[in-house]
Amino acid sequence: MGSRSNVVIDGIRQMITSGELVAGSRLPVERELGARLGVSRGPLREGVRALVVLGVLETRQGDGTYVTSLEPGQLLEPLGMLAELQSPENAVHLLGVRRVLEPEAAAHAALRISDDELAEARRILERGEAILAGGDGDIDLEATIDVDTEFHRVIANASGNPAFAALIDALVGRTARARLWRAIHQRGAVHDTQREHRAILDALEAHDPDRARIRMSVHVLGVEDYTERHVDEQPVDDAD
């Protein structure tokens, strides 16, 4: 990207951070904005396109360009793409990031989680138990990973911190294949995961942040440790 388009990006960023533009604001028309930033049409459009990709701006056909809602989930979506492109070795690094974030999210959730959110978490784990009830030979491992992902997202959302929730949402789905690899190759892993989820839920129901933090740390560390020890065995397509 050229230096002139970077001028556009920096200029619009400053207009947002100063409060001149807020979520939902319409950008000035192209000629006015270009004159203000001292750039021609080409770099202006290039800079605007970059901010659209990043989720900062959105174009509305026939109606101009607007600042988005600037919600963390939207702004952090490119992080999900970055995670998708990681090698098996870097899947371990992503799990390490989860190990830092998720225990704190669980601790926050223990203090804030609502009865409805607890009920949703219970329903998710009950669905997981129904999947496991068929016996080891009949377990739908993909479905257990879906349960795992949904459970972690409920907790992240219950933390009350949109940035936590967006970061975890961007990472939890992208480490699914590493978790699936463990489920396939480590006997009893899916049952261990269900027990760990139940222990986390117990801590949330007790509104005990310290216990929730510890239970989540143990849970995520188990996946990280297994992935790190067996990273050389994973096909590239099976770790993201």
pLDDT tens figures, 99-130? 899 999 999 999 999 999 999 999 999 999 99
Under the banding of pLDDT at 50, 70 and 90, the label for residue 236 is very low
Under the banding of pLDDT at 50, 70 and 90, the label for residue 166 is confident
Give the ranges where the chain is alpha helix by DSSP (H): 3-17, 30-37, 41-53, 72-75, 77-84, 88-112, 115-132, 141-158, 162-172, 176-185, 189-205, 209-229
pLDDT at 187: 62
Mean pLDDT of the chain: 83
Under the banding of pLDDT at 50, 70 and 90, the label for residue 133 is confident
pLDDT exceeds 90 at position 228: no
pLDDT, mean of residues 132-139? 71
Question: What contacts 23, CB < 8 A, 6 or more positions away?
Answer: 67, 68, 69, 70
Lowest mean pLDDT among 27-31, 77-81, 83-87: 83-87
Residue 29, SS3? coil
Tell me the pTM. 0.68
Closest among 145, 155, 164 to 199, alpha carbons compared: 155
176-185 and 209-229 helices cross at what angle (nearest 10)?
70
pLDDT at 139: 80
